[in-house]
Structure 1
Amino acid sequence: MDVEFLELTETSARLVIKGLTPAQVNALRRTMISDVPKMAIHFVDFYHGPSKEGKESTSAFFDEIVSHRLGLVPIPTDLSLFSRVDECSCDGEGCPNCSITYSLNKSGPAVVYSGDLEPAGHGGYKVKDSLIPLTKLKEDQSITVVAKAILGSGKEHAKWQAVIAAGYKFKSVLEVNGSLCNQCEDCIKACPRNIMAMSGKTPLITHLEECTACRSCADACTKKALKILLDPSEVIFKFETDGALHPKDVLEKALDLLEGGFKDIEEQVDTL
């Protein structure tokens, strides 16, 4: 198997995978979506009473709506430091090894943003996407919240989904019948992505990773000299994260989970 990164940013990756079957690539995609863990706010306590300024602790939204929005805020995650609550030595009580506590205290008039969440004792886990609006406060309103983030996976709830968009396509292959092609270049003009050019007397796709196999080029060829085929042995894989985890960390964790799952099956088969 060969892997080549075409693009890698803090929140997205695009790579070429060679030597895997479509089923294996899809298993990787599904594992990234449903099994790779990440941090998300799961417990929220609201303080209902006057603030220090004497303002009423309330907002235009019900507490449940604010809680839901808090749960969808991307929380920075370090999978090497945190364990799941049900696997932690604290027996589910919640401790610095399995949870991050955030506080939020703001008075109106103001818009409350995700950046107003302050990590307690975890200065390095300040929310990166600081401009997610949570609620709006009027002059006489305030909000005081204590929230706790824990590890979970996408199959438990969408807020723990490490990957928000993951998909793949097969490599496009352009076949040209030289005896029929008259070098009219109609196929090049018809390409909606402008990724075709002439190489001598033969049209070719200059950027195969950008080709969507729409077959506009083949349809424009009146001589029927072109065919667009798909090669399932070479896959262009693309996915995005919400910023809680780096794309490379998501990919590595998904591969580890797949390997571990098959090893468990192998061990059980060996005992038969």
Structure 2
Amino acid sequence: MPKVSALDMPDVPMGQLPEHLQLQRTRVVCKADAPIHTEAIQYSGAYASMGVDNSLQLESFCNNFKIEVIRLTEDEIEFDMIGIDASLANAFRRILIAEVPTMAIEKVLMVNNTSVIADEVLAHRLGLIPLNADPSLFEYLSENDSPNERNTIVYKLDVSCKKGGPRMTVKSDQLKWLPSGSELEMTPPNQSAKPKSYTSFSCSQDSMPEFSKKPLGVKHEDIIIAKLGPGQAIELEAHAVKGIGKVHAKWSPVSTAWYRMLPEVVLLKDIKGDDAEKLVKKCPVNVFDIEDLGNGEKKAVVSKPRACTLCRECIRGVNEELVELRRVKDHFIFTIESAGALPPEVLFTEAVKILEDKCDRVISDLS
């Protein structure tokens, strides 16, 4: 950036930036071919000659940062994060995808499978079914631990299609929770040894207070697992454990988590008459509207800038000098779609806690 002295701009008071520099500092301008001013200006003394401190101040961040919830449903939340850097917004996105734990089927004990789906493919399909289980109530299962009521959920699937009958669709609601643990027995190493179960539950999970009110079933009961023809059958036992998305995608708690900068659409000049009508028709998401000025005069106005998808149709051709598309650098529209295991608002809260723990570890290592 070229050095600019405040003496060269007597009409700009000390402590304030001229309009063009403030635009570069706070906005990404989207031209017809490519965006400009995309880099964040991090150097604290970038505007020192004009009396502006560009350093990050904790007090200023606390005063300016805020979150506004725009939309909240059972499986999705959209909210605005205002006053943060893109790196921090991206940190939340990555944590949501890869580091917030959930429960998922990890081990499948196949007793009988005469369907057309191979054992390993069937096990993979079962692992992707969202489970209605709170991961905070469970512990991680390490290599040295035995499966117990605190780290494992056991499900059973036993279905068959009668010979001579119609084809049968196997859905996720046919997975039955076994609160007392595995019903299968391991093959003993020698005939004199007593057979053992694959799990070591000391008590039934449905007798524990945290599980008695809410059965540990599946989140969606209409997920198709397989289709059986006459005479085919599936009998298996599935063991679910706690994990995170960076190990395998089946533990990722979100179907997607994404963000975008807040759109800002600016009309540089009044657009009236037929030009206004053409501008409104160019936008596929109805960002613009027509305002009636009276006496048969009309002009274009920006009615829904938030809906802008940056298709750039409005700035192509003759309109490039009339309309300017911008993005606010410190204002992010964040969307979280839960896979079903946890509500979307809880997912973001858990991501904040994980980032806080990371920061505490760094501070502890530095000190």
Aligned letter for 2:279?
A: C
The answer as to 2:234 corresponding to 1:234 is no
Aligned letter for 2:260?
A: K
- TM-score (ref. length: structure 1): 0.87
Residues 108 and 225 (structure 1), Cα distance of their counterparts in 2 relative to 1, 3 Å cut = same
Count of residue pairs the alignment pairs up = 258
Deviation digits for residues 120-139 of structure 1, max 9, x if unmatched? 22562221212222222232
1:193 is aligned to: 285
1:119 is aligned to: 177
The answer as to 2:159 corresponding to 1:106 is yes
The answer as to 2:130 corresponding to 1:74 is yes
Aligned letter for 1:247?
A: P
Query: Which one of 217, 221, 239 corresponds to residue 314 of structure 2?
Result: 217
The answer as to 2:247 corresponding to 1:156 is yes
Q: Which runs of 5+ in 2 are unaligned?
A: 1-64, 163-167, 180-205, 207-213
CA drift of 1:220 comes to 5.9
CA drift of 1:214 comes to 2.1
1:51 is aligned to: none
Identity %: 30
Residues 39 and 204 (structure 1), Cα distance of their counterparts in 2 relative to 1, 3 Å cut = farther
Map 1:17-96 onto structure 2 (within 5 A).
Answer: 17-48=81-112, 57-86=113-142, 92-96=145-149
Aligned letter for 1:170?
A: M
Contact 2:260–2:334 (CA under 8 A) maintained in structure 1:
yes
Distance 1:150 1:204 in 2: 55
The answer as to 2:260 corresponding to 1:169 is yes
Query: Which one of 204, 227, 234 corresponds to residue 136 of structure 1?
Result: 227
Distance 1:152 1:223 in 2: 50
1:13 is aligned to: 77
Aligned letter for 2:353?
A: D
Residues 94 and 218 (structure 1), Cα distance of their counterparts in 2 relative to 1, 3 Å cut = same
Contact 1:66–1:134 (CA under 8 A) maintained in structure 2:
yes
Query: Which one of 296, 303, 308 corresponds to residue 206 of structure 1?
Result: 303
191-200 vs 95-104, which moves further: 191-200
CA drift of 1:165 comes to 1.3
Contact 2:264–2:306 (CA under 8 A) maintained in structure 1:
no
- TM-score (ref. length: structure 2): 0.66
Residues 107 and 222 (structure 1), Cα distance of their counterparts in 2 relative to 1, 3 Å cut = closer
Instruction: Calculate the aligned-residue CA RMSD, in Å.
Output: 2.1
State the structure with more CA Rg. 2
Distance 2:363 2:88 in 1: 17
| Structure with more strand by fraction | 1
Q: Give SS of 1:39's match.
A: strand
Q: Which runs of 5+ in 1 are unaligned?
A: 49-56
101-110 vs 219-228, which moves further: 219-228
